Amino acid sequence: MRREGPVIFAAIAGLAVIISGLFATDALKVVKDELDQWYLITTAFMVLVGLINLNLLHVRKISQKKEGWGYSIVLLAGMYFFIVFGLMRGSLGDAQYGWAYNATIVPMSATTFSLLMFYIGSASYRAFRARTAEATVLLLSAVVMMIGVVPIGRVIWSRLPDITSWILDYPNTAGIRGIQLGACIGGMATALRILVGIERGHLGGEG
């Protein structure tokens, strides 16, 4: 029952949601709304699971004085500061909590995101080599796109933005549509396998 129970529950819940989406039934809509609420509440409780794991991991690191244990203290201090401060002040809408958030999380997120500029530079330099015919096509289209989408592209050649738009509108969109269609079908097949109980990877170690 330990394995069958979750499979049966997933099948019933999944079918209830699917049928309520396909058919105009008030009864199943009530079930779906209730399941939606359960999902939201369960997801919120899962944050607690993550919190507990973070605590266990870093407290163990500190107590055993493993390499980098000082950073674990910083992490736990930062985490509990925001938890306590947030509980005291309410939400991001509070001026002081908002300030603390804007002064720390926002610049740190933006900084890490900004690393992408450097990484894309080194990745492009390394990857875009004309080793094969396909690689050459990739290289040429990447170069045309990179120049065409910025203002200097029009300065270099007035037709370049039109070529860029054509690449975006036709070959790109066709490829994206194909990938998205395939991915959607793959997702549906995965969901169907879970509903009928063939796929059990999410239960831990099977399927």
- Per rule CB under 8 A, is residue 77 in the interface with another protein? no
Position 68 contacts another protein (CB under 8 A): yes
Asked if 198 is part of the footprint of another protein (rule: CB under 8 A), the reply reads yes
Q: At closest approach, how far in Å is the CB of 150 from another protein?
A: 4
Residues numbered 23 to 62 that lie near another protein (CB under 8 A) are 23-24, 36, 39-40, 42-44, 46-51, 53-54, 56-57
Hey, which residues between 135 and 194 contact another protein (CB under 8 A)? 139, 142-143, 146-147, 149-155, 161, 165, 168-169, 172-173, 176-177, 179-183, 185-194
Binders of another protein among residues 96 to 125 (CB under 8 A) are 98, 101-102, 105-106, 108-110, 112-113, 115-125
Burial class (CB in 10 A: 0-12, 13-18, 19+), 148: buried
CB under 8 Å to 160, separation ≥6 — which residues? 144, 147, 148, 153, 154
Which residues have a Cβ under 8 Å from the Cβ of 66 and sit 6 or more positions away? 60
| Minimum CB distance to another protein smaller for 163 or for 203 | 203
Q: Which residue has the tokens 């396998």?
A: 193
Phi, psi of 46 (to 5 degrees): -65, -25
Q: At residue 203, what are phi and psi to the nearest 5 degrees?
A: -90, -5
Binding residues for another protein, rule CB under 8 A, total 99
> Taking CB under 8 A as the rule, does residue 132 contact another protein?
no
Q: Find the distance separating the first CA and the last CA of the chain, reported in whole Å.
A: 17
